[in-house]
Amino acid sequence: MKKIDELPENVGRIVIAGHIHPDGDCVGSCLGLKNYLSVIRPRAQVDIYLEKFSEDFGFLQGAGEVCHELPEREPYDVAFALDCSDTERLGDAVKYFTAAKRRICIDHHITNEGFSDENIICPDASSTCEVLYSLMEDSFVNRAVAECLYTGIVHDTGVFKHSNTKEETMRIAGRLITKGADPSYIIDETFYKKTFAQNKALARALDTAELWLDGAVIGSVITEKDFEELGIGSGDLDGIVDQLRVTDGVEAAVFLYEAPEGKCKVSMRANGSVDVSRIAREFGGGGHVKAAGCTVSGGWREIIDQIAGRIAEQLEH
Ligand code: 5GP
Ligand code: MN
């Protein structure tokens, strides 16, 4: 498939799924695709399955119709997996994907090995939303689609500042503004705005952060006790690892939080020569060269030690 418009005119039932813990690129790409399909294939039935996501994305068209429950369904004619580097990341929606008659994955993770029948994976693209735009006919991109895609690009580029931001990213973002996306609303309301509790969590993580490997690595942990004391949930920790990363002299930042069932969720960011996607993959996760993550069983101290060891190995070479 080179363009979404190649879908048959009479396509019937379509399912769209993204990754667990949906972020801006995941929500933006799923809703952007659905809104585009409602323009080019208005008779098709399109369902989106995602875990619950931030209410900040509630203004995007169709956000209220996303399904969070997964009842038994007849196999779909076409399934899209968006912003997902492996089938595990699809969560429970994997059952719809596996059963569908035609399966298409659209993604930009370097760790995606092509789990679908049809794979459109562009590791150089800033975001799945950027890949999606390149598969769309510009003339059919309306304001609703533009707002979704712009949101995804903003989130995965950290507001156009990460190294994945290219000339093409800016060209597409500019085009989406012309189509009606409101940059300052989307950037402030969905990216920078923090609740009081989220700011307190950031403060805790910065206050307890430590430098390792002679200042080459910064790390911090939010423990179950912190969650209780601060009255926060795991959805309140976005952006912490990015703030750690901008510390002067740091090659890599590692942020962990204690998750249920004796596991820790790890987020990693790199500045220089470290490839954090390699480390994440080794621990069963994935991502990009400069931004990756994984969920690991065990206590946070031992996990930190193991990850710091992997970073040290890379720095030595
Ligand atoms: P974050 O640290 O913001 O959760 O994720 C950074 C990047 O790594 C994102 O592109 C995300 O999709 C990917 N990532 C994070 N955690 C995991 C994981 O457990 N498995 C895989 N495959 N990718 C992950
Ligand atoms: Mn993405």
Specify the pLDDT at position 55: 95
Residue nearest to atom 6 of ligand 1 (CA): 292
Calculate mean pLDDT across residues 267-295: 96
For the chain, give the mean pLDDT: 97
**CA 64 to ligand 2 center in whole angstroms:** 21
C-alpha to C-alpha distance for 102 and 122, rounded to whole angstroms: 20
- 41-88 pLDDT per residue, tens: 999 999 999 999 999 999 999 999 999 999 999 999 999 999 999 999
* Residue of 110, 255, 263, 267 to mutate, ligand 1, most atoms within 8 A of C-beta: 267
Calculate mean pLDDT across residues 126-144: 98
Our answer on whether the CB atom of 157 is closer than 6 Å to any ligand 1 atom is no
Q: What band does 317 get if pLDDT is binned at 50, 70 and 90?
A: confident
- 92-103 pLDDT per residue, tens: 999 999 999 999
Residue nearest to atom 7 of ligand 1 (CA): 292
CB atoms within 5 A of ion ligand 2 belong to 25, 83, 127-128, 156
For residue 67, give the DSSP letter: B
Our answer on whether the CB atom of 293 is closer than 6 Å to any ligand 1 atom is yes
Q: Does an H or E element contain 104, and which?
A: strand 102-107
Calculate mean pLDDT across residues 260-281: 96
Calculate mean pLDDT across residues 271-299: 96
With 0-12 CB in 10 A as exposed, 13-18 as middle and 19+ as buried, what is 175?
A: middle
Q: What band does 115 get if pLDDT is binned at 50, 70 and 90?
A: very high
SS3 for 209?
coil
CB-CB contact of 252 with 269 (8 Å): yes
- The Cβ-side half-sphere exposure at 170, using a 13 Å CA radius, reads 7
C-alpha to C-alpha distance for 38 and 34, rounded to whole angstroms: 6
Our answer on whether the CB atom of 264 is closer than 6 Å to any ligand 1 atom is no
- 287-314 pLDDT per residue, tens: 999 999 999 999 999 999 999 999 999 9
CB-CB contact of 108 with 131 (8 Å): yes
For residue 37, give the DSSP letter: H
What phi and psi values does residue 241 have, to the nearest 5 degrees? -65, -30
- CA nearest to 96, candidates 41, 29, 16, 22: 16
**What are the residues facing 81 on neighbouring strands?**
17, 105
Specify the pLDDT at position 11: 97
- 180-206 pLDDT per residue, tens: 999 999 999 999 999 999 999 999 999
Percent of the chain exceeding pLDDT 90 equals: 99
Residue nearest to atom 9 of ligand 1 (CA): 287
Calculate mean pLDDT across residues 128-149: 98
With 0-12 CB in 10 A as exposed, 13-18 as middle and 19+ as buried, what is 43?
A: exposed
- Would you state the structure tokens that stand for residue 3, as one six-digit string? 């363009």
